[in-house]
Amino acid sequence: MDDENRLLLSGDEAMALAARHAGVALGAGYPGTPATEILESFAKLGGRAQWSPNEKVALEVALGAAFGGARALAAMKHVGLNVASDPLFTAAYTGVAGALVIVSADDPGMHSSQNEQDNRRYAVAAGVPMLEPADSQEAYDFMRAAIEISGRWKIPVLLRATTRVCHSYTVVRPGSQRDVPQAANFVRDLKGRVMVPGNARPAHRRLRQKLAEMAEWNEDCALNRVLPGGKALGLITSGISFMHAREAAPEASVLKLGFTHPLPLRLIAQFAAGVQSCLVIEEGDPYLAEAIRAAGMAVRAKPEMYRFGELDVARARRILRAETSPEPVPPPAKPPQLCEACPYRVVFESLRRQNCIVAGDIGCYTLGALRPFEAMDSCVCMGASLGVGLGLRHVLPPEQACRVVSIIGDSTFVHSGISGLVEMAYNPPATGHVVIILDNATTAMTGHQEHPATGRNLSHEPAARLVLEDLARACGIRRVQVIEPRSGSEAFDHALREALQSGELAVIIARRPCVLIARQLKEYEQREQSCRCQENGELCAAAV
């Protein structure tokens, strides 16, 4: 066995390695479990990776790079693709000059997400090809294949993974091929890239033509595999579901689909014809089952109860038996909570004490909804705290409206809270409004990534810093306060009470670094200090 070449990699790391080996010039994204480590690994491998303010911007940056003839990568979690869906749909029309791969890391079972949407639907809706890896080897191979397919058909490719692919470590033997892509170069293609109706109409027809060609190519594509077995039962499956299904029914014949949009319908028909009974085993929505049935093939699908949550071997066995009795409920695990020394505890104590109606947001601080605080009344999507809080203020009777507060973290605010703040200034509620920005100087929940307001880039090197209080004032908010929330101090409590009573538009920035990154922050600061000293040719105290 070639031991030298066997690596134990997570799916995220494998995708990053493949992108590096394929000569991807730029990777952009926004942190989100389970996608975060793709760009972090890509940067560690020497790739050029960056956190953008949100996924929409990230995809647009990657698209621009691909317009310029480069190979580009955009990586995000499933709900991130909602944010990036606007450029996605029209990028399918424009196509690309180089190559563009969009990784959607879905989270069935919602280990760390607010919903379990199945992003395979996006491939159909936008009309882009989709590959679904089942382990780290395929995460590597399929990333390479996705880049090839994107370059060949000049179209963005969706590489759809799930939590158990992204975060499982499995053995990878990377390919020996290293690509040196063509240098980036601007070639004008006004009709192909400027999507005014007159250009977009033929672009839509071109897209459908490409999809028809790809469907044909997919019929004997090596990304789909038939594992011959017994003739009694045939399983059609994709992604991680293949692993569970194969373990649950080792005797069955299997069609493992890797290139899952546009589907190879003749291959599927041929497989189905070779077995007595055909069952589709897939996680999440019945995407494959619906498409195969719509094509006129009689296949069995999983019972509806398995749409919910992740699949595993036990559930695959139940699906094989068409078992619909209630499933065993595992004993409760200890829920997470705000860290003992978390500065946000002070904030949630105040919100509770002052009986606030709290429009919440996505991050560590969503834990403020749990006991002992239970100080949150809604949590929908990134940035929703602003709009939801304003909507409540507009319609509630004054005695309730004056208690409404929007609460949002620093990274989430930069992601999609800024436009909500503009809305607040533009359409102010009669009772005013209070926005609390929890600024702990990091994207804490996903594992402490940087963002524009930390003043450091993805690799923790100095970058331009977005100053939140200046931004709030520029939006037209006059009452802007920065407070350090400390246990035992009444300062935050007072500021909140005054802001609520003022009836004005107010932004309170509760600023104190996350307790888990205190040591790292010191290191970054010393490094920056030492860099500055070296530039000035001074003797550096930090370096001594």
Partner 1 sequence: MNKAADARKTENCAPPPYNIIVAGLGGQGVLAATDIIAEVALRAGHDVKKSEIKGMSQRGGSVTCDVRFGAQILSPMVPAGEADFLLTLEPSQLEPNRHLLRAGGLVIEPSLIDADKLPQKKMLNVALLGALSAHLPLAESEWLEAVAGAFARKFLEDNREAFLLGRASQIQNVHATAAA
State yes or no: residue 266 binds partner 1 (CB under 8 A).
no
Only segment of 218-226, 482-490, 504-512, 524-532 that touches partner 1 (CB under 8 A): 218-226
| Residues of span 369-428 touching partner 1 by CB under 8 A | none
| Residues of span 418-477 touching partner 1 by CB under 8 A | 445-447
Q: What are phi and psi of 286, to 5 degrees?
A: -80, 60
Write down the least CB distance from residue 317 to partner 1, Å. 8
The 8 Å CB, 24+ separation contacts for 529-538 are 531/462
Whether 449 and 51 have beta carbons less than 8 Å apart is answered as: yes
Structure tokens at 275: 């077995």
State yes or no: residue 233 binds partner 1 (CB under 8 A).
no
User: Side by side, which strands form the sheet with 252-257?
Assistant: 225-227, 252-257, 230-238, 277-281
Q: Give the residue with the Cβ less far from partner 1, 248 or 358.
A: 248
State yes or no: residue 243 binds partner 1 (CB under 8 A).
yes
Write down the least CB distance from residue 377 to partner 1, Å. 21
Write down the least CB distance from residue 538 to partner 1, Å. 32
Whether 485 and 343 have beta carbons less than 8 Å apart is answered as: yes
∠ at Cα 521 (516, 522), nearest 5°?
A: 115
Burial 94-125 (b: 16+ CB within 10 A, else e): bbbbbbbbbbbbbbbbeeebeebbbbbebbbe
Q: Give the torsion through C-alpha atoms of 492, 495, 501, 506, to 10 deg.
A: -110
State yes or no: residue 367 binds partner 1 (CB under 8 A).
yes
The rounded distance, in Å, linking the Cα atoms of 492 and 487 is: 10
**488: which DSSP letter?**
T
Residue type, 390: L
Residue type, 333: A
Q: Give the residue with the Cβ less far from partner 1, 445 or 505.
A: 445
State yes or no: residue 168 binds partner 1 (CB under 8 A).
yes
For partner 1, the binding residue among 21, 56, 164, 460 (CB under 8 A) is 164
State yes or no: residue 518 binds partner 1 (CB under 8 A).
no
Q: Give the residue with the Cβ less far from partner 1, 265 or 339.
A: 339
Strand partners, 14: none
Whether 101 and 157 have beta carbons less than 8 Å apart is answered as: yes
Write down the least CB distance from residue 402 to partner 1, Å. 33
Write down the least CB distance from residue 111 to partner 1, Å. 5
Write down the least CB distance from residue 85 to partner 1, Å. 23
Total number of residues that touch partner 1 (CB under 8 A): 53
For partner 1, the binding residue among 86, 247, 461, 470 (CB under 8 A) is 247
Q: Give the residue with the Cβ less far from partner 1, 327 or 528.
A: 327
For partner 1, the binding residue among 116, 138, 282, 439 (CB under 8 A) is 138
For partner 1, the binding residue among 28, 92, 145, 508 (CB under 8 A) is 145
Q: Give the residue with the Cβ less far from partner 1, 438 or 496.
A: 438
State yes or no: residue 366 binds partner 1 (CB under 8 A).
no
DSSP 27-78: EEE---TTTHHHHHHHHHTT--EEE-SSHHHHHHHHHHHHHTT-EEEEEEEH
238, 452, 507 from 272: Cα distances, Å: 15, 52, 61
The rounded distance, in Å, linking the Cα atoms of 56 and 37 is: 19
State yes or no: residue 112 binds partner 1 (CB under 8 A).
yes
Q: Binding string to partner 1 for residues 324 to 343, with x set by CB under 8 A, is what?
A: ----x-xxxxxxxxxx----
State yes or no: residue 208 binds partner 1 (CB under 8 A).
no
Q: Give the residue with the Cβ less far from partner 1, 3 or 535.
A: 3
Only segment of 21-29, 93-101, 130-138, 184-192 that touches partner 1 (CB under 8 A): 130-138
Q: What 3-state class would DSSP assign to 335?
A: coil
User: How far is C-alpha 99 from the chain's CA centre?
Assistant: 20
For partner 1, the binding residue among 194, 314, 430, 541 (CB under 8 A) is 314
State yes or no: residue 3 binds partner 1 (CB under 8 A).
yes
State yes or no: residue 232 binds partner 1 (CB under 8 A).
no
For partner 1, the binding residue among 94, 163, 238, 411 (CB under 8 A) is 163
Give burial (CB, 10 Å; 0-12/13-18/19+) of 169: middle
Q: Give the residue with the Cβ less far from partner 1, 249 or 408.
A: 249
| Residues of span 283-312 touching partner 1 by CB under 8 A | 312
User: How far is C-alpha 43 from the chain's CA centre?
Assistant: 17
104, 156, 263, 271, 522 from 44: Cα distances, Å: 21, 25, 35, 43, 21
Residues that bind partner 1 (CB under 8 A): 1, 3, 6, 8, 33-34, 111-112, 135, 137-138, 141, 145, 163-164, 167-171, 173, 175, 222-223, 225, 227, 229, 240, 243-244, 246-247, 250, 312-314, 328, 330-339, 364, 367, 445-447, 516
